[in-house]
Amino acid sequence: MSGIRVANAPCSYGAFEITVGVLPDVPDGEHVLAAIAAAGYEGSELGPPGYLGDVDSLRERFEGKGLALVGGYIPIRFSDSIHWDEDLAGMSRTLDLFAAAGGSSAKAVLADAGSQERGRFPGRAASDRSIGLDEAGWRRLAEGVRRAAELARVRGFEPTFHHHTATFVEAPWEIERLLELTDVGLLLDTGHLALAGGEPSEALRDWGERINHLHVKDVRGDVLAGVIADHADMPEAWRRGVFCDLGTGDVDLGSFFRELARSGYSGWLVVEQDMVPLSPAQAAEAEAAQVRNRRWLSEHAAL
């Protein structure tokens, strides 16, 4: 598929906000960049700010591995305006890293930081709208997204919104509401959409004009069912391995890539296989999985 470039992200190697600086078996940033390049990816997302490098080292590290910075995750407590000034200041610091890395085409990946309540109920909003926002909450969230998108644009970066499990923009009905109330682009994540009861191929057809970034992952339905039945939270879902190698789970990736080829999408496709490394062996397996994922895309999606 012409016009699509393939990247990976530190979360595939176990490096994200709940693990970096917390767990002993998370690989360091330079190792992850080297592994991403060696596996044949063309770029990487940023991961936790500072993990891959600071404003003085990022450009050299990315260019030294022949990689592009394709985006960075920016969680903001959109539903609670008392935190906006603090969170937007943090966003500005993340955009400083974008600029330092020379990532002029990197997407500012906006996401709702959710709440402790939603964090306890991954996947439930698809069937239980009572845990979602009321109308005042949606108006507040939309205003927060507007402010964040404006900041990204002023700084020269295109914003995109990441619907995310265990946040206030998770289920398909919540994504629809976000699209109605804002003008921001949509990051389509096959794994998070499946966790929320959606179907990625339908999403491409329904929301294609708004989609400006892709995260591709596969999901183990049996693990998800257990997480929901046990009322477990999202960190526990990661620990149980809810995301798996491409083509080994229950997301219909064949249909998704056929629809993607018809869609005319052009831009970055980021492979993500979020995991929590609980041993050196698990960290090594995560690295090997990203080699397999790159091979799978080449063999099954001509990417």
Distinct helix (H) and strand (E) counts, the chain:
12, 10
**What's the CATH code of the domain at 54?**
3.20.20.150
Domain containing 154 equals 4-301
Task: State residue 221's pLDDT score.
Answer: 84
Per-residue pLDDT 10s for the chain (303 aa) are 779 999 999 999 999 988 999 999 999 999 999 999 999 999 999 999 999 999 999 999 999 999 999 999 999 999 999 999 999 999 999 999 999 998 788 999 999 997 777 777 777 777 888 889 999 999 999 999 999 999 999 999 999 999 998 899 999 999 999 999 999 999 999 999 998 899 999 999 999 999 999 999 999 888 888 877 787 777 788 788 888 999 999 999 999 999 999 999 999 999 999 999 999 999 999 999 999 999 999 999 999
| Cα–Cα distance, 221 to 202 (Å, whole number) | 19
How many domains does the chain divide into? 1
3-state secondary structure of 137: helix
DSSP 149-196: HHHHHHTT--EEEE--TTSSS-SHHHHHHHHHH---EEEEEHHHHHHT
Helix (H) or strand (E) holding 43: strand 43-45
3-state secondary structure of 4: strand
Rounded to two decimals, the pTM is: 0.94
